[in-house]
Amino acid sequence: MTQLAGSHISGDTAALRRVRFGSAHYFQRPDRSDPADAQAPRTGMAGLGGYARLSKEAGHWLWEVSTNFRTPAYNNNDIAFFSRADYWWMQANIFPIWTKPTKWYRQLFLIGGGQQQYNFDGDLTDRQVQVYGQIETLGYWNLSTFWIRRPQVFDDRLTRGGPVVKRPSNDFWYLNINSDSRKRIVAGLNGSYGCNSDRDCGNSTSLSLELKPRSNVSVSLGPSYDHTVTGMQFVGSYADPTATNFFGTRYVFAHLAQNTISMNTRLNVTFTPTMTLELFVQPLIVSGAFSRYNVFAAPRSVRRLAYGRDFGTVVITPATKPAIDPATIQLDADTLGGGAPTYTFTDPTFTFRSLRGNAVLRWEYRPGSTLFVVWTRSSRIPDRPRGDIQFGDDASALFQGPSENIFLVKMTYWLGF
């Protein structure tokens, strides 16, 4: 299978500058192979995108090779979802399957392969090897797991328009177990763990429970907890003439420890073949604690220097009234040679609480013609700059804040000609 697409957008120089300097392109990156041409004023931009795949999809041994590319100036604009251009991605996988039941399993499925990606300057921006396995037991339970290994690679997006830097190597593991989906009670467990060479580690756990008291009714509960740590959370950038190796700009990052607790609850009822009701509720609590502000030691490097430890100073001004006058952070890089300006910003540490829900009543009042009645509720609970989760207080706050309610009626009619 092969696909090829072209794109062309046009507008005044200000509009094209917004597009070209946006996160999908970052043409302002000063270390591009031809930065002057990339940053020149434009009134139009054209690019190419493509995808090709060759595979064997029958028999015991299956395989695939595929590639995908977007030239630096390719842009879908509003036609479809578009996150980035400037990449050439390729992958290869081999996967044996066993579909004939034995005394050990009903089905067995394995995958081994790898992938990598370059930008059009020739920087390796992704590389990984992966192993995946899935088995269905004689009792119709399903177990799946995979492992991914990524070495150090370049990142042309991390500085958000600045020079290319490097990400540390990392490993990621995942495990999923699901009970027999034919039963009235179906349970599932998901777990993952990841760690990079900087010892930034994270893990997540989620449970799922589906109850089917009647053939036309199902209730599902899905609590989850996620803990993520990164030492490279982008904070901001500022002009600094002493940052000569970064072309006069200092790009600030932070250590971020983030915790997320959520519960997805669903109720589905089929009253008749033409009338259904779907309910969904999600309480969500997220916290993020920022610390250890740092910069990369040099472009195309993985090494980072921490303010207040390896160079410069950090001054934290505590919040007097957190909701009105939050804490501020002041960074100074003067010990790198003198004359560096200070960088002051509001402490981005946060605790976020949200309660969302919706209900959808669907009635197919005639074949092909449907009436939808929808109610959506979203709470608006003020953030707290704590950086941690205090479960009792945060859970009770979910039901105390103001909310926004939206009612929607939609009708479709099938003309039939």
Please tell me the predicted confidence (pLDDT) of residue 301.
96
Place of tokens 């390896």: 310
Indicate whether 154 and 218 sit together in one domain: no
Q: Are residues 9 and 125 in the same domain?
A: yes
Residues 156 and 207 grouped into a single domain? no
Query: Taking CA 68 as the corner, what is the angle to CA 10 and CA 197, rounded to the nearest 5 degrees?
Result: 110
The predicted-structure confidence for 164-221, as pLDDT tens digits, reads as follows 999 999 999 999 999 999 999 999 999 999 999 999 999 999 999 999 999 999 999 9
Domain boundary, last residue among 167, 185, 213: 167
Alpha carbon distance 7, 77 (integer Å)? 9
Q: Are residues 86 and 206 in the same domain?
A: no
pLDDT at 278 over 90: yes
Q: What is the band of 240 on the pLDDT scale with cuts at 50, 70, 90? A: very high
The residue from 151, 167, 183 where one domain ends is 167
Average pLDDT, rounded, for the chain: 93
Structural element, H or E, at residue 224? strand 217-239
pLDDT tens string 51-85: 999 999 999 999 999 999 999 999 987 777 889 99
DSSP letters along 343-407, please? EEEE---EEEEEEEEEEEEEEEEETTEEEEEEEEEEE-PPPBTT-S--HHHHHHHTTTS-EEEEE
Please indicate, yes or no, if residue 173 is contained in any of the structural domains: no
25 DSSP β-pair partners: none
Q: Is 370 left (phi over 0), alpha (psi -120 to 50) or beta?
A: beta
The per-residue pLDDT for 392 is 86
Report whether pLDDT(334) > 90: no
Task: Identify the band that residue 232 occupies on the pLDDT scale cut at 50, 70 and 90.
Answer: very high
Say if residue 295 is in the same domain as residue 380. Answer: yes
Do 19 and 112 share a structural domain? yes
- pLDDT-derived band at 322 (thresholds 50, 70, 90) equals low
Q: pLDDT, tens digit, for every residue of 97-127?
A: 999 999 999 999 999 999 999 999 999 999 9
Same domain for 408 and 286, yes or no, is yes
- DSSP letter assigned to residue 168: P
Residue 182 structure tokens = 């034919």
CA distance 286 to 355: 12
Distance CA 147, CA 389 (A): 30
**Burial of 163 per CB tally in 10 Å (0-12, 13-18, 19+):** buried
206 with 156, same domain: the answer is no
Q: Is 379 contained in some domain?
A: yes
pLDDT at 321 over 80: no
Instruction: pLDDT band for 339, please (50, 70, 90 cuts).
Output: confident
Q: Work out the average pLDDT over 124-150.
A: 97
Query: How large is the average pLDDT for residues 290-306?
Result: 96
Answer yes or no: is 229 within a domain: yes
Q: Pick from 120, 93, 124: which is nearest to 109 by CA?
A: 93
Task: Look at residue 236 in the predicted model and tell me its pLDDT.
Answer: 96
pLDDT at 336: 57
**Are both 114 and 13 inside the same structural domain?**
yes
Which residue has 């070209």 as its token pair? 20
Exposed / middle / buried, residue 323 (Cβ in 10 Å: 0-12, 13-18, 19+): exposed
Whether residue 54 is contained in a domain is answered as yes
- 177 inside domain: no
3-state SS class at 133: strand
153 and 227 inside one domain: no
* List of residues 6+ apart from 244 with CB closer than 8 A: none
Nearest CA-CA partner of 225 in 141, 287, 148: 287
Q: How far is CA 363 from CA 275, 290, 360, 376, in A?
A: 4, 49, 10, 18
- Single out the residue in 143, 167, 191 at which a domain terminates: 167
Give the count of domains, the chain.
2
| 401: containing domain | 200-417
Q: What does the DSSP assignment read for 283-351?
A: EEEEEEEEEEEEEESSTT---EEEBTTTBSEEEEE--SBTTTB--EEEEE-GGGTS-PPEEEEE---EE
Structural domain contains residue 114: yes
- The pLDDT of residue 337 is 59
For residues 291 and 229, give the distance between their C-alpha atoms in angstroms, rounded to a whole number: 11
Residue at 180 is within a domain = no
The answer as to whether 192 is a domain residue is no
- The three-class DSSP label of residue 269 is strand
Examine the domain organization and report whether 150 and 72 are in the same domain. yes
Segment holding 128, helix H or strand E: strand 124-136
Which residues lie across from 231 on neighbouring strands? none
Is 303 or 381 the better-scoring residue by pLDDT?
Answer: 303
Same domain (yes/no): 291, 395 = yes
pLDDT-above-70 percentage for the chain: 98
Averaged over 391-417, what is the pLDDT? 88
Residue written as tokens 């599932």?
Answer: 188
Q: Which residues contact 144 (CB under 8 A, 6 or more apart)?
A: 132, 133, 134, 135, 175, 176
- Taken as a whole, the chain contains a residue count of 417
Helix (H) or strand (E) run with residue 86 in it: none
